Amino acid sequence: MDYRDDVYFNAETERELPFTAGEFAGRLTRVRKAMAAAGIDCLFLTSPESMYWISGYRCMWYQTESPIEWAATNGIAVHVDHDRYIHFETEREAVLTRIFTVDTDTRYFPKTSYREGTSYIAEQLKAEGWLNGNIGIETHAMRPNRAVSDRFQAAFEAAGAKVVDGSMILREVRWVKSDAEMAVLKESARIATIGLKRAREVLRPGIMELEVQGEITLAMAKAGGEMQAQLMPVISGRKSLATHAYTTRRTIKAGDIVCIDVCGVHNRYHVNAARTFSVGEPAHDVKDVTDRAAAVMDVVKSCLRPNLPVRELNDKVKAHYDREDLWSSRGWIGGYEMGIGFPSDWVGNFVYDPLAAKNADRLFEPNTAVNHEIQIFMPRHVGQFFMIESFLFEKDKVTLATPEIPYTLNVVG
């Protein structure tokens, strides 16, 4: 055996599992139940979030924009009738699978195929008898790209399977978290709080946006926080009118409005929070608008409870902004699911807002987590009031993620 192969397949490693084997076994059972209800016999998972949720697989490189010949073809197959999954992987990640996964059946692409595993995966699944019915693929996932996805579909169909969209299986199953996941989300909330506190400490005239971003990142890392699935924006002055603007070398000035959006991350579970800061005392009309905008949190807190109807929250939030004559000054008011995130997105599948019919008749069930965003444009185009809090709906209460940081405009400097 080559020493290279000895390293790949025999090197001993320390396991770094985010959850117990029992937690992962329970997840597999839930997925198979959902597959049966959807009429899917085999589910082939390729998104980073799905692969992680079912096995613990974490990798820093997913080949999303890599050379064409280095295609993203690794994935995990789950069959409705089997209490095990099959992880298909390039041998170059063999060591990684022994560190991060609970795999019991990992099959590596032949050396001759390098990173191209589509034919090998189809052959293996056919030999297992897993391609005799409907196979679901994640057509809404960021990986693989269309060209690779088309190759998978062709290979599966040539082996006798009918290919269907299985994107919603794990997206829906992940909505209600386990107790272990909720505990991780609470740790993420603690980390998010540390990030916002550090932002408040370092904001001052003369500091670059990038410096503030770096200080926040360092403080959260020291608290055990992992890198976020998106860049955490620090946007100042009138640039804050663009919610998704890049953090740059712009120097923050006295009188600036600064919007800071963070995510605490523990075991890839994200909890989102944002606050708006004024570098120096704000103008009276700015403070008036931001005070009235932030007051919606009193309305929100008064109705938060497990099994809160989504429509009730939406209606009460909109009624507040109508009373305050702020609805026409909004950017976006609403929220989305918090949970597993890999670059380049931490936005979960479940989304709600007062104007959307989707999900309006659902409930914020126990063991779910969402954020809530407030985006109100300030007078005279001076900036945006941008506030986010996340809610953890537990069995008997709702926990706010970052209540230590005021929801109103925070004056610094």
- Tokens representing residue 370 in the block: 């969402």
Helix axes 146-158, 118-128, angle to 10 degrees: 30
What is the pTM for the complete model shown? 0.97
Question: Does a cis peptide bond (omega within 30 degrees of 0) precede residue 344?
Answer: yes
Backbone CA torsion sign across 398, 403, 406, 407: negative
- CA-CA distance, 167 to 135, in Å (whole number)? 11
**Helix or strand holding residue 368 (H, E):** strand 368-377
Q: pLDDT digit string (tens) for 224-235?
A: 999 999 999 999
Q: What is residue 128's three-state secondary structure?
A: helix
Domains along the sequence of the chain with CATH: 3-173 (3.40.350.10), 179-412 (3.90.230.10)
Q: pLDDT digit string (tens) for 208-256?
A: 999 999 999 999 999 999 999 999 999 999 999 999 999 999 999 999 9
The pLDDT of residue 99 is 97
Q: Specify the amino acid at residue 128.
A: E
* Of 14, 118, 102, nearest in space to 54 by CA: 102
Instruction: Give the percent of the chain with pLDDT over 70.
Output: 100
Q: Label the pairing between strands 75-79 and 42-45.
A: antiparallel
- Tokens representing residue 297 in the block: 């949190």
Q: Please report which confidence band the pLDDT of residue 114 belongs to, taking 50, 70 and 90 as the band edges.
A: confident
DSSP state of 409: P
Q: What is residue 360's three-state secondary structure?
A: coil
